[in-house]
Amino acid sequence: MQRIMLRGKLHQARVTHAELNYEGSCAIDQDLLDAVNIREYEQIDIYNIENGERFHTYAISGERGSKMISLNGAAARKAAVGDRIIICAYAPMSEQQIASYDPNLVYLDAENNIVRTSKNIPLQLA
């Protein structure tokens, strides 16, 4: 059996561009893609913290060092510049792979600078 597991996450990224008349996708600063280990053309899920929108698209490389998070094409209708979003990538894994696997979690500030990285999400308390 395989389970679909979180592989990487950019947490609280800020949308810097929304380009309706651009070929669809999400352009992400190549430094951020490297930090979270998302490859160009890989499927990603985007969760808009501001309005609850959740959708699939794919990542493309944005200018290295630009801090760019650009929603393009139809995705540009799902968020406004300045919105906080979560960008996730998932992968199928066997129970054996899961036993020794931790996701790449990258936390960003309001300017899309990396403030910390982690391999686990803190336990949520009641």
Active site residues per annotation:
25, 58
Residues 6+ apart with CB under 8 A from 12: 49, 84, 85, 86, 107, 108, 109
CB atoms within 10 A of CB 92: 11
74 is in an annotated binding site: yes
- The reply, when asked if residue 126 is annotated as ligand binding, is no
Is 82 annotated as ligand-binding?
A: no
- CA torsion sign, 75 to 76 to 80 to 85? positive
Our CA angle for 38, 41, 46, nearest 5°, is 65
16 has binding-site annotation: no
Structure tokens at 46: 């985007």
Q: In the numeric block, which tokens belong to residue 122?
A: 């803190």
User: Among 104, 37, 108, which Cα is nearest to 69's?
Assistant: 108
Question: Which residues contribute to the annotated binding site for substrate?
Answer: 57, 73-75
Binding residues: 57, 73-75
